[in-house]
Amino acid sequence: MKVVFLEPLGVAMEKFTADAKTVIGDRAELVFYPDRVTDVPTLIERSKDADIVVLSNFKYPREVIEACPKLKMICVAFTGVDHIDAACCKERGIMICNCAGYSTSAVADLVFGMLITLARNIIPCNEVVRKGGTKDGLVGFELEGKAFGIVGTGAIGLRVASIAQAFGCNVYAYSRTRKDIPGITYVSLDELMATCDIVSLHVPSTPATKGLINADNLALMKPGAILINTARGPVVDSEALAAALTEGRLAGACIDVFEDEPPLDPSHPLLHAPNVIATPHVAFATKQAFEKRAVIVYENIRCYLDGHPQNVVQ
| Alpha-carbon gap, residue 253 to 246, rounded angstroms | 11
pLDDT in tens, 142-189: 999 999 999 999 999 999 999 999 999 999 999 998 999 999 999 999
Q: Are 281 and 257 spatial neighbours (Cβ–Cβ below 8 Å)? A: yes
Burial of residue 164 (CB within 10 Å: 0-12, 13-18, 19+) is: buried
For the whole model, what pTM was predicted? 0.92
Calculate what percentage of the chain has a pLDDT beyond 70. Answer: 100
83 band by pLDDT with thresholds 50, 70 and 90: very high
Q: Would you call 281 a catalytic residue per the annotation?
A: yes
273 band by pLDDT with thresholds 50, 70 and 90: very high
Q: Would you call 308 a catalytic residue per the annotation?
A: no
Q: Which of 46, 159, 202, 232 is catalytic?
A: 232
Tell me what pLDDT residue 263 has.
94
Where exactly does CATH 3.40.50.720 map onto the chain?
2-102+286-306, 104-278
pLDDT in tens, 26-62: 999 999 999 999 999 999 999 999 999 999 999 999 9
H/E stretch holding 295 reads helix 287-306
- The domain covering 104-278 belongs, at the CATH homologous superfamily level, to NAD(P)-binding Rossmann-like Domain (3.40.50.720)
Calculate what percentage of the chain has a pLDDT beyond 90. Answer: 98
Has domain 2-102+286-306 been given CATH number 3.40.50.720?
Answer: yes
Q: Which of 191, 259, 261, 291 is catalytic?
A: 261
